[in-house]
Structure 1
Amino acid sequence: MFKLLREEIDGIMARDPAARSRLEVALCYPGLHAILLHRLAHACWTRGWTLAARAVSQASRFLTGIEIHPGATVGRRFFIDHGMGVVIGETAEIGDDVMLYHGVTLGGTSLNQGKRHPTLGNGVIVGAGAKVLGAITVGDGARVGANAVVVADVPAATAVVGIPAKPVTPRDRTDTGRFLPYGTPCGDLPDPVARALTGLLDEVTALRRRVEELETGHAPAAPAGEKVLADGAAAPRC
């Protein structure tokens, strides 16, 4: 138990520059308290003590503001930064070294009692306010930007942003190989929708320029044997 506790604390220390000491993390980090209580609730759940499991889960929600269903499967070194408002559903599966920020929802989109919540691979980061919905898979090392809404599978080592979430360009994917605070690429935030609209506007501008050139240019000469009308158009043949 103490080895597990030390591993969880070391994981937090490695990913939060605000953490000053292990004692501070142990006493003052609600994300750590929530995951420790969840492991207790999950142990009760797997043994069939569902009422006790839900009671522990509700106590954790009251104390930390983080709601993790006792049926959710959570890997090692899981870190919830800040934590308030996080909701994790019953059939969610979370790998090792995953990090969530406040306001994240791992929710279901089905009323079926089977698999209906997301699966997060190892090393995933989900930014503040993001919603990952449905029985989808977020691959290892993926990054979900703040306030994104993810409703489809995310390939491994890919950053997604926007509503609905779309992958950033391959040039920006190099950021996913390192830690990204809030799961968002630094610098110029890529916006796939804005880039598509910009490309469309550029194409419209080029077409308009071409039309203006054709309108201001000379009319093409009529083929041999055709008469040209006063307005420059070719007269129809009889």
Structure 2
Amino acid sequence: MSLKEEVENILMKDPAARSRAEVFLCYPGFHAILIYRVAHQLWETKSKFWRVVARSISQFGRFLTGIEIHPGAKIGSRLFIDHGLGVVIGETAEIGDDCVLYQGVTLGAQAAARMGALSRDTKRHPTLGNSVVVGSGAQILGGFVVGNNVQVASGSILLKEVPDDCIVVGVPGRVIFREGVRVSDPVPDIEAEAIKCLRDKLAKLEKQIERNQTVPMFEPTLTGVKRPSGGNLVHNGNVVHIGQGASAGTASSDAVDIFLHGAGI
């Protein structure tokens, strides 16, 4: 692939890119790919000496760009690494043509493959097909195949093979759309469910406190504190309304609902 084609690919895919000079000077993903191309050629010689040189070149690229690409990885044409910081591409990873990786993406190995020298010559990292888009912070772990035209949502952790034309979401990643048709229920939001459970429990506790106000309770013996017939405490002439919070429970719950919906939870 020519240098010009790499630059034109970024100009086409990134609306923030204004000129070829800007891409050449200011895009770490572009720099990382150039450095990888050189290192990969040396790695393919299979010479121990040149492989050490290849690793050294890759290490320089890592310091320069914040992107770690092992020279043994196989990368097709027109890969666009957007922003790029924290991207890791392992030794046996393979990437097809016209793929896009965002910052923080890991193409790594699963725990079972991390056995040192015993797993050295095995397929440990994923293979991406053509036109795959991997969102920021996503991890694809294992030596399986991700098909063509697959989109992996930001923050997902993908641990198994995915067919063509799918959208993957969640931890662990699962297919929710295939060929434009939903094949799975929406991913539940565990944090939202926890907040709702806490809200419901708080409402029940407020009602229980309100009911218990009619039950004789332990009378405080502190000086200046007494309980009148209304059930509220009086301290130095100031009335402390015990049941005041319970009456506001409905408004509080409504506010929580508004927050949850407004936050997209």
User: Partners of 2:103 and 2:16 in 1: how far apart?
Assistant: 16
> Aligned letter for 1:174?
G
What are the within-5 Å matches in structure 2 for residues 1-238 of structure 1? 4-48=2-46, 49-109=50-110, 110=113, 111=115, 112-113=119-120, 114-170=122-178, 173-174=179-180, 191-193=186-188
Structure 1 stretches lacking a partner, 5+ long = 176-189, 199-238
User: Partners of 2:158 and 2:177 in 1: how far apart?
Assistant: 17
User: Partners of 1:84 and 1:43 in 2: how far apart?
Assistant: 24
> Aligned letter for 2:96?
G
CA shift in 2, pair 1:193/1:136, >3 Å: farther
User: Partners of 2:89 and 2:157 in 1: how far apart?
Assistant: 15
- Counterpart contact for 1:145–1:161, Cα < 8 Å: yes
1:193 Cα offset (Å): 4.0
- Counterpart contact for 1:90–1:117, Cα < 8 Å: yes
Q: CA RMSD in A?
A: 2.0
Partner of 2:241: none
User: Partners of 2:85 and 2:177 in 1: how far apart?
Assistant: 32
- Counterpart contact for 1:92–1:117, Cα < 8 Å: yes
User: Partners of 2:4 and 2:176 in 1: how far apart?
Assistant: 36
Residue by residue, what CA displacement relative to the aligned partner does 1:187-233 show, whole Å, maximum 9, x if unpaired?
xxx73346xxx9xxxxxxxxxxxxxxxxxxxxxxxxxxxxxxxxxxx
User: Partners of 1:137 and 1:127 in 2: how far apart?
Assistant: 17
Which stretches of structure 1, 4 residues or more, deviate above 2 A after TM superposition?
Answer: 190-194
> Aligned letter for 1:141?
N
Partner of 1:180: none
User: Partners of 2:76 and 2:174 in 1: how far apart?
Assistant: 26
Larger radius of gyration: 2
1:169 Cα offset (Å): 3.8
1:105 Cα offset (Å): 0.2
- Counterpart contact for 1:42–1:71, Cα < 8 Å: yes
Q: Identity across aligned pairs (percent)?
A: 53
User: Partners of 1:6 and 1:168 in 2: how far apart?
Assistant: 37
Residue by residue, what CA displacement relative to the aligned partner does 1:126-156 show, whole Å, maximum 9, x if unpaired?
0000000000111000000000000000111
1:62 Cα offset (Å): 0.2
User: Partners of 1:55 and 1:147 in 2: how far apart?
Assistant: 30
User: Partners of 1:169 and 1:82 in 2: how far apart?
Assistant: 27
- Counterpart contact for 2:168–2:177, Cα < 8 Å: no
> Aligned letter for 2:180?
T
> Aligned letter for 1:58?
Q
User: Partners of 1:123 and 1:169 in 2: how far apart?
Assistant: 16
Give the stretch that moved more between structures: 82-91 or 41-50: 41-50
Provide TM-score, normalisation by structure 1.
0.72
